[in-house]
Amino acid sequence: MKKIPELGKKTLLLGVLNLTPDSFSDGGEYFQSVEKAVARAKQMIEEGADIIDLGGESTRPGSERINAQEELNRVLPVIKLIRKELGNKILLSIDTYKAIVAKEALSAGADIINSLGGFLFDNELADIAAHFRCPVILYHIKGEPGTMQKGEICYKDVLAEIMEFFGKQIEYGLQKGMKRKQFFLDPGIGFGKTVMQNVEIIRRLNEFTKLKLPIVIGVSRKSHLGKLLQQELHLKENPGTSERLEAGLAETAVAVLNGAVIVRTHDVAETKRFLSVLDLFRK
C-alpha cells in the first residue's frame, strides 16, 4: 500500500482542488484550464499541502450528478500533467464515489480514493481499492448530495449511526479483499447533518479513535460555519465563504485535539500556519 509520509507524526494537510463549475467554494475557478489547476496544485504544495484532493463532481447540497466520462474529462488531464511536471513529489487523492473514475484516476497516477458514502453508491469501488491496494477515505453521508440537507435531518444518535456506517463499510471492504490498514475515516461534516449535529460530531470526535484508524476532518468554508457565526454574533446575514476561515480553524483545532490526523482544507497556507503551532501542544 502507498505509504503516507509522516502520518501520525504531525497533522497532515489535504488541499482541495475543485475541477468543477459548481462547487460551493471555488467552483469554476480551475474548471476550464488544466494549466491553471496544476499551477494551483503547485501553489498548495509550496503552502504546505501533503496531499492534493482532486474533485471532478460537486457534492454540495443540491448539486446535480454528472456521468463518469464527464468526471474523467475533468480530472485525468490534471492528474497526468501533475505527474508529468512534478513526478511523485506530492500524493494525490481522487474525490469520487464511482469505481470507473477511481480506477482510471489511480491508473493515471492518483494514490488515494476519497469516497463520499464509502461503497454505498458504487460497491465495485471496494474491488478497485483491493486491486490497487490504495488508502480509501470513507466519508459519511446521510441521504444523497442533491437532497441531504432538505427536510428534517434525524438521528437517534449521530455518532452511533456514523460508527455503524464505518463498521459496515469496513466489513464490506474486507470481504472484497481490502486490508484494514487501507481505511481512513471522515465523519462527513455537512453531509446530511444539522448545524448542531456537526458541532456534536466534532466535540465527540475522539469516540471514533476506538476504531484505531486515521481520522480525517473537513470543515473548510462549509455553510454550517456561516450559520454558527450568524447565530453567535447575531448577524443579519450568513457570512460568505471568505468570512468563515477563523470559525473553521476553531473547529479544526477541536477536531485535531480530539484525534483527527488529516485536515481537508481550501485555505492551505493559513491552516498550515495554524497547525504548526497547534501541533506543538500535542507533542
Averaged pLDDT of the chain: 92
pTM here?
Answer: 0.93
Catalytic one among 60, 222, 244, 272?
A: 222
pLDDT higher than threshold 80 for residue 147:
no
Is the Cα dihedral 65, 67, 69, 70 positive or negative? negative
Q: Reply yes or no on whether 282 is catalytic.
A: no
**Does a structural domain hold residue 1?**
no
Higher pLDDT, 219 or 22: 219
Query: Do the domain assignments include residue 6?
Result: no
The secondary structure of residue 9, as a DSSP letter, is T
Contact (Cβ atoms closer than 8 angstroms) between residue 136 and residue 162: no
The pLDDT tens digits for 190-236 are 998 999 999 999 999 999 999 999 999 999 999 999 999 999 999 99
Please count the structural domains in the chain: 1
Instruction: Indicate whether 2 belongs to any domain.
Output: no
**pLDDT tens across 92-112, in order?**
999 999 999 999 999 999 999
Residue 247 within a domain? yes
Residue 264 a catalytic site member: yes
Which one from 60, 74, 264, 272 is the annotated catalytic residue? 264
Most confident of 20-34, 51-65, 212-226: 212-226
The three cell numbers of residue 54 are 482532486
Locus of grid cell 443540491: 62
**Gap between the Cα atoms of 119 and 210, Å rounded:** 22
pLDDT band for position 150 (50/70/90)? low
Helices vs. strands in the chain: H and E counts, helices first: 9, 8
* Other CB atoms within 10 Å distance of the CB of residue 86: 16
Q: For residues 158-167, give the mean pLDDT.
A: 97
Whether residue 63 is predicted with pLDDT greater than 90 in this model: the reply is no
Closest alpha carbon to 193 in 217, 164, 165, 162:
162
The model's pLDDT over 255-273, given as tens digits with 9 standing for 90+, comes to 999 999 999 999 999 999 9
| Structural domain for 38, as ranges | 12-282
197 contacts 155 by C-beta, under 8 angstroms: yes
- Asked if residue 255 belongs to a domain, the reply is yes
Residue 112 lies in a domain: yes
Helix, strand, coil % (nearest 5) of the chain? 45, 15, 40
Quote the CA–CA distance of 135 and 179 in Å, as a whole number. Answer: 9
Which CATH number characterizes residue 248's domain?
3.20.20.20
pLDDT the model gives residue 266: 95
